[in-house]
Amino acid sequence: MSREFSQMDKQIFDKLAPEAGGSTMSKMGHSYPFILRPISHKIAQSAEDFRERLERLDATEIDYLVGLAMEEKEDIRSLEEEDVDSFMELVRNKLSPEREKELKAKLGFA
């Protein structure tokens, strides 16, 4: 299921994947329904690459992604396992341990 990316979505996607040239379309011609999943599965070359890309985001952008995940508009569960860990660590370090716990509770993570 596809959703239309907002300006903030596009800004974050462009920061995470500048090589996409502003496109939020898959090679198959479909709009990406999420920001992080295509970065995790298709664009980042490794878990380290994914982590480095996430480090480009500021606290406001991380909190925005957390908010989307809390509303089930961003898919964290289907990221590569190491990428989930990287995202949670970033939430803990750039936002707070409490925000990480809140997100984990919402997603059903222990």
Q: pTM value?
A: 0.92
57 neighbors 12 (Cβ within 8 angstroms): yes
Cα–Cα distance measured from residue 110 to residue 24, given in angstroms and rounded to the nearest whole number: 32
pLDDT tens digit sequence for 11-52:
999 999 999 888 888 778 788 899 999 999 999 999 999 999
| Distances 32 to 91, 97, 110 between C-alpha atoms, Å | 23, 29, 28
